[in-house]
């Protein structure tokens, strides 16, 4: 693992050598054809950049961490976004970047977004009434001072509602410090405190669901949450789809550029040790990885078991040539295999099961069960086709029924042909589960992103996630190999084969 980390670091250093050397010192330098300016997708910054820097090339960024990394590596020349996020990142040790003096535009207005499907009556007006009260009594100003100025990341104790009249489900991201983030393994931040205070004021129990910013608006539109507290900006497109509360915060827009003077650590090994500590040990962040591993394994194992059963049942229904069963199965497999995994997952979550109480984990299991079942069907079809028809004829001549002949003669010969593909599908499945963060599931990849949002480093979180996926895949394949040795007559382990070769 250490060799992989050192190689990745060396390649990163080599890549950075080819970046631009001209330091950007002012806004005027950004209005050039060869300048790349990053903005968050579906944000007001896009219009600001178009208006102020019409000659520059605009690049969409997935999230803050990726943007900061792209700046420090020279892949983008500047990033336009939330100035508070940037200031806090620099305060927490982000290297290789700096802020230009000044702000761009009047600022972004953030508010709580209201789902059109919420069952809490008059939710928008109630949030506005609550905001008006805490503004009048000074609570809102105290919160802003504590989170934004003093940068105190300690969540105060907020009493829960006794005998709650409602259940408030809140969508957030957990990836925008200091508004919504994880501290000591728990959700924290300005918007999280605001949501908890509102739930206590309303007399409601509260539940948080975690999404990427790409998925948080669809979650409200689909009725998966009652409202969104995530420093969500009021853009014209969002306001056409969702109602917004009065402003919860007005965010200044800043510009981050590369700072080569702070990008290279003096002691490489010391920086590795510091990164390891920030990624795993500080605030017990290893527990986030452990939670993600558990969720990833749960989805993968259940999908394998259910997919194997459904795929086998579908094959048995089609084996004798039933036209209806074959037509339905072919259509389903065509539909599943022709659709990107993330699209299938989002269709199931936001459309098919939007009005149910199924969790993101349950919907993920359904999606990957369908995918694995389609693969199992095709594997069995190919494996059985590899067994000559004479085997069935011989079985019939010995008095076997069709079912007895299949399970005792054909299937044992077909499985060795199907097992290599079956194991490959398991490896593919566990890697494919990395997209479940789109439907509010905190799997291994999502937890890695959450850690990156606090450390502002890509190296250790990404390498750790990659290594863990390798280990999980190897563990599952080892378990399948053990089962295969017991289930298929005549199969030998690699150790037994080596011993026989040595004896000969």
**E strand or H helix at 493, and its extent?**
none
Residue 483 has what pLDDT? 84
Residue 21 has what pLDDT? 46
Q: Using alpha carbons only, how large is the chain's radius of gyration in Å?
A: 27
Across the strands, what pairs with 227? 114, 170
Burial letters 20-31, b for 16+ CB under 10 A, else e: eeeebeeeebbe
Distance CA 63, CA 173 (A): 11
Place of tokens 């590795």: 272
Across the strands, what pairs with 170? 208, 227
Question: Quick one: angle between helices 286-318 and 411-432, nearest 10?
Answer: 140
Evaluate whether 182 touches 169 at the Cβ level (below 8 Å): no
Evaluate whether 72 touches 263 at the Cβ level (below 8 Å): yes
Instruction: From 254, 296, 302, select the one nearest 81 (Cα to Cα).
Output: 254
Distance CA 440, CA 442 (A): 6
Distance CA 449, CA 85 (A): 16
Residue 14 has what pLDDT? 43
> In 10 A of CB 224, how many CB atoms?
28
Distance CA 337, CA 251 (A): 44
Query: In sequence order, what DSSP letters do the residues of 302-359 get, joined into one string?
Result: HHHHHHHHHHHHHHHHHTT--HHHHHHHHHHHHHHHTS-HHHHHHHIIIIITTTS---
**What is the full per-residue pLDDT of the chain (504 aa) written as tens digits?**
445 444 554 444 444 444 444 688 899 899 999 999 999 866 678 888 999 999 999 998 877 778 888 888 888 999 999 999 899 888 888 888 999 999 998 888 999 999 999 999 999 999 999 999 999 999 999 999 999 999 998 999 999 988 999 999 999 999 888 999 999 889 999 999 999 999 999 999 999 999 988 889 988 998 899 999 999 999 888 999 999 999 999 999 999 999 877 655 556 677 777 778 888 888 788 888 999 999 999 999 999 999 999 999 999 999 888 899 999 999 999 999 999 999 999 999 988 998 888 889 999 999 999 999 999 999 999 999 888 888 888 888 888 888 898 888 888 889 888 999 999 999 999 999 999 988 889 899 989 888 887 777 777 888 889 999 999 999 999 999 888 877 665 555 544 544 554 554
> In 10 A of CB 500, how many CB atoms?
10
Residue 457 has what pLDDT? 77
Question: HSE on the CB side for 318, CA within 13 Å?
Answer: 21
Distance CA 303, CA 28 (A): 54
Distance CA 176, CA 183 (A): 12
Place of tokens 């669901």: 209
Conformation bin of residue 97: beta by default, left when phi > 0, alpha when psi is -120 to 50 = beta
Residue 489 has what pLDDT? 59
Which token pair is 12? 């990163």
Write phi, then psi, for 398 (nearest 5 degrees). Answer: -90, 0
Model pTM score: 0.78
The secondary structure of residue 180, as a DSSP letter, is: B
Query: In sequence order, what DSSP letters do the residues of 224-281 get, joined into one string?
Result: S-SEEEEEEE--HHHHHHSEEEEEEEEEPEEEEEE-GGGTS-S-HHHHHHHHHIIIII
Domains in the chain, ordered, with CATH? 18-106+255-267 (3.40.190.10), 108-250 (3.40.190.10), 286-489 (1.10.3720.10)
Residue 497 has what pLDDT? 46
> In 10 A of CB 234, how many CB atoms?
16
């Amino acid at each position: 693992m250490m060799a992989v980390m050192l190689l990745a670091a060396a390649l990163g250093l080599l890549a950075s050598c080819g970046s631009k050397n001209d330091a950007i010192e002012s806004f005027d330098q950004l209005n050039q054809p060869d300048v790349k300016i990053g903005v968050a997708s579906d944000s007001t910054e896009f219009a600001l950049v178009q208006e102020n820097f019409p000659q520059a090339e605009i690049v969409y960024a997935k999230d803050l961490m990726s943007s900061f990394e792209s700046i420090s590596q020279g892949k983008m020349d500047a990033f336009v976004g939330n100035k508070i996020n940037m200031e806090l990142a620099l305060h927490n040790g982000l290297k290789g970047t700096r802020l230009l003096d000044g702000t761009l535009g009047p600022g972004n207005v953030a508010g709580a977004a209201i789902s059109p499907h919420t069952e809490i009556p008059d939710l928008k007006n109630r949030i506005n009434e609550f905001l008006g009260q805490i503004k009048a009594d000074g609570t809102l100003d105290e919160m802003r001072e504590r989170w934004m100025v003093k940068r105190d990341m300690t969540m105060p104790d907020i009493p829960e509602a006794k005998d709650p009249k409602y259940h408030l489900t809140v969508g957030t991201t957990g990836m925008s410090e200091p508004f919504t983030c994880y501290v000591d393994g728990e959700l924290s931040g300005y918007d999280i405190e605001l949501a908890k205070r509102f739930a206590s004021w309303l007399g409601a129990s509260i539940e948080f669901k975690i999404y990427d910013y790409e998925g948080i608006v669809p979650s409200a539109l689909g009725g998966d949450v009652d409202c969104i507290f995530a420093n969500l900006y009021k853009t014209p497109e969002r306001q056409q789809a969702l109602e917004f509360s009065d402003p919860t915060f007005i965010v200044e827009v800043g510009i981050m550029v590369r700072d080569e003077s702070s990008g290279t650590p003096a002691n490489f090994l010391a920086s590795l040790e510091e990164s390891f500590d920030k990624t795993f040990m500080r605030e017990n962040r290893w527990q986030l990885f452990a939670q993600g591993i558990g969720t990833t394994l749960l989805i993968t194992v259940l999908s394998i078991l259910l997919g194997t059963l459904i795929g086998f049942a579908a094959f048995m229904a089609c084996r004798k040539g039933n036209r209806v069963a074959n037509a339905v199965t072919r259509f389903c497999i065509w539909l599943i295999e022709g659709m990107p995994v993330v699209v299938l997952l989002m269709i199931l979550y936001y459309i098919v099961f939007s009005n149910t109480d199924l969790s993101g984990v349950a919907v993920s299991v359904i999606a990957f069960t369908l995918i694995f079942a389609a693969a199992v069907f095709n594997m069995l079809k190919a494996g059985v086709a590899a067994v000559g028809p004479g085997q069935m004829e011989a079985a019939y001549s010995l008095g076997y029924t069709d079912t007895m002949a299949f399970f005792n003669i054909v299937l044992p010969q077909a499985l060795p042909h199907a097992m290599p593909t079956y194991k490959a599908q398991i490896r593919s499945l566990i890697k494919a589960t990395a997209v479940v963060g789109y439907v509010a599931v905190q799997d291994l990849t999502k937890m890695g992103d959450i850690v990156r949002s606090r450390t502002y480093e890509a190296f250790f979180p990404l390498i750790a996630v990659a290594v863990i996926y390798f280990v999980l895949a190897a563990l599952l394949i080892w378990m399948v190999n053990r089962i295969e040795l017991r289930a298929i007559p005549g199969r030998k382990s690699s150790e037994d084969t080596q011993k026989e070769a040595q004896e000969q």
